[in-house]
Chains A and B, each alone.
Chain A
Amino acid sequence: MTNDILIFAEQRDGKLHSGVAQTITPARELAAKTGGQVVAVVIGDGIDAAVDAVKNAGVDRIISITSGDLKLYSALRFRSALAAAIQKVDPKIVLAPATFMGRDLLPRVAMRLGAGLATDVTELSFSGNGALDVVRPVYNGKAFCHVNFPAGKLAMASVRVNTFAAAAGEAKASVDAMSDAGGAGDDRIKTTEVARTGGGVKDVTEADIVVSGGRSLKSEDNFNQLIYPLAGALDAAVGASRAACDAGYQPHSRQVGLTGKTVTPKLYIACGISGAIQHLAGMRGSKCIVAINTDAEAPIYKIADYGIVDDLFKVVPALTEAVKKLNA
């Protein structure tokens, strides 16, 4: 085992996932302690732009695995490719952003390599015996726990997106192409297409800012009249509470919460959302939370950084205007 930290540098269509540069930040801190290198692995087809982006984030070494068979994500092929790269580098720790791909891929790789794995971690350090010790949320964010890894075994973790600032550094890394990664012939899983959903509007899991509406919006039309213009002015995604989705005001793909999506944006604006446990589970990790609700006793105000206790039908248009004035 070397002292290196390996990063799975997720890309889609040649575009590096924004969580990769963030994941490099704790990786460099860990590498400073182990005295090892930070090695990024990029897997796909037509990935030059992604390799350049990860280079600019300041890693020490890059391994690229390219093949037409790796153009779209397949759990089996990507598992073989990543496992082969890990075996070649023999790192102490493997990190990846906690994305849909990371969450799908890492358990398979960890199982294959006999590693330990923690998902969605927010802090990383070493315990007294030199083993990795991480912090992660459990019970829908109602608690956090430490996860101690066994010493002497490969440790893997996916890192919660928007927890660490993106790393930048000197683009000095050498790029090694690795060809024989195996698994290319496994056709049992084939992704045939990636179909955009949501009509080209940003997804809540991709956005730095999320504007969400609750049932008090009363209709899909009011979402269009109030929430979407504010989201447009802020270049934000639109989210919704379970009640709003169940009422048909927004599709379930926009639902933020326990049975919806978990988001950790820089800014979360909750409009007419009271803050049921189910909703808080999906957004309490946001950096800055704004609540707009007529009920001053609503639980959302317990976690909000800023609040306006007033009618969202008056406040939201005023807010949209104020943002537009700022941008002008």
Chain B
Amino acid sequence: MKLLVLIKQVPDSTTNIKIRPDGEDIDRAGVKMVVNPFDEFAIELAVQLREKRSDVESITALTVGPASAAEALRTALAIGADDGIHLQDDAFAKLDELQTAALIAAAVKNQGYDLIIRGKQEIDLDSGQLGPALAEALDLPHVGAVTALDIAADGESLKANRRIEGADEIVECAIPALLTIEKGLVEPRYPSLPNLMKAKKKPVKTMTAGDVSGYADAVAKVGGTEIHKLAPPPQRPPGRILTGDPAEAAAELVRLLREEAKVI
């Protein structure tokens, strides 16, 4: 089985976001960048599959991003991927998520990947479009937001639980397939120092737009949305602190929720 893990480098969730004066992007200077936490689950899952099964031939990690995204690939290699693909070109920076999916599809089609694994969403743009869109572009079935997974011994099919509102959908899916991973399926490990050193020697193939055949056509067909005018969230009016003993404060709160906020 050939596994492909898609990862994205994103600002650390605890970082403060400063918006550039022109509102076209965030100020990226000094922002700590990490592997998208949901993609860490994807890498971990791939490594656990290799540990549990005898038929995992290779784990490839792929990212689309600037030169600095190589750091995220190195993390994936240190956790256990064998090699990396870095799609890196100034032209890629303007692609929206559907176009990025079209780019990745053009780069990996006919490479014989049996399972493509990705986090269920990225914590920067928060859209979760890439996984299902890539599955569509490659004509693969997909299971999104997987919380439990059982791959058949013959590697021909899988059974997965997928989280929905207040329930799990239990899904049978043919392989090859694409999975997006929800929290709770696996607990990601930290790369050890020796493995971080070894990761530096693992091969990473860098591909530009010119190296991806059919790139321009694939990207022109879909998407094309543009992000503009970033702004901080609307200010909430200052809250009201209710005082008095707990019974008084609670009674006043209930009155305000009913009469002022009208939510109960």
Determine the chain A residues whose CB is within 8 A of the CB of B191 once the complex forms: none
Say if the beta carbon of A108 comes within 8 Å of chain B.
Answer: yes
Which of A172-192 touch B at CB < 8 Å?
187-192
Apart from A108-B142, A308-B253, what are 6 other A-B pairs with CB-CB below 8 Å?
A108-B132, A192-B172, A195-B161, A284-B233, A307-B240, A310-B249
B91 in the interface (beta carbon within 8 A): no
Residues of B within 8 A of A266 (CB): 263
List the A side residues contacting B17 at CB < 8 Å.
139, 142-143
**What is the 8 Å Cβ interface bit string for chain B, positions 195-228, against chain A (1 contact, 0 not)?**
0000000000000000000000000011111111
Ordered by A's residue number, 7 sampled pairs between the chains whose C-beta atoms are within 8 Å are A107-B136, A108-B132, A111-B136, A139-B123, A146-B229, A190-B171, A284-B233
Least CB distance from A25 to B in Å reads 18
Q: Does B193 contact A (CB under 8 A)?
A: no
Q: Does B13 contact A (CB under 8 A)?
A: yes
A305 touches B239 (CB 8 A): yes
- B contact face: mostly helix, strand, loop, or mixed: mixed
Which of B1-9, B55-63, B70-78, B254-262 makes up part of the contact surface?
B254-262
Q: A148, B98: Cβ atoms under 8 Å?
A: no
Q: Is A8 an interface residue (CB 8 A)?
A: no
Nearest residue, chain A, Cβ from B234? A144
Given A110-B98, A190-B171, A288-B263, CB of A147 within 8 Å of CB of B224: no
Q: B224 contacts which chain A residues (CB < 8 A)?
A: 116, 149-150, 153
B91 CB to closest chain A CB (Å) equals 17
B21 within 8 A of A: no
- Interface segment among B44-52, B80-88, B162-170: the answer is B162-170
CB–CB A117/B263 < 8 A: no
The proximity string for A residues 76-115 relative to B, scoring 1 for CB distances below 8 Å and 0 otherwise, is 1001000000000000000000011101111110111011
Note all chain A residues with C-beta closer than 8 A to B143: 75, 189
Q: A108 to B135, Cβ gap below 8 A? A: yes
Residues in chain B within 8 A of chain A (CB atoms): 11, 13-14, 16-17, 19, 26, 37-38, 96-98, 101-102, 123-133, 135-137, 141-145, 161, 163-174, 177, 183-184, 221-234, 236-237, 239-243, 246-247, 249-251, 253-254, 256-258, 261, 263-264
Interface string of A142-168 (1 = CB under 8 A from B): 111111111001000000000000000
Whether B37 lies near A259 (C-beta < 8 A) is: yes
The 7 A-B residue pairs with the shortest CB-CB distance, nearest first, are: A203-B166, A318-B250, A188-B141, A111-B136, A107-B133, A107-B132, A150-B224
CB distance from A161 to the nearest CB of B (A): 10
Are A314 and B129 touching (Cβ within 8 A)?
Answer: no
Q: Is A278 an interface position by the 8 A CB rule?
A: yes
Q: Which of A29-37, A53-61, A217-225, A319-327 contacts B (4 or more CB under 8 A)?
A: A319-327
Q: Is the CB of A206 within 8 A of B249?
A: no
| Measured CA separation A322–B240 after assembly (Å) | 19
A192 near B170 (CB under 8 angstroms)?
yes
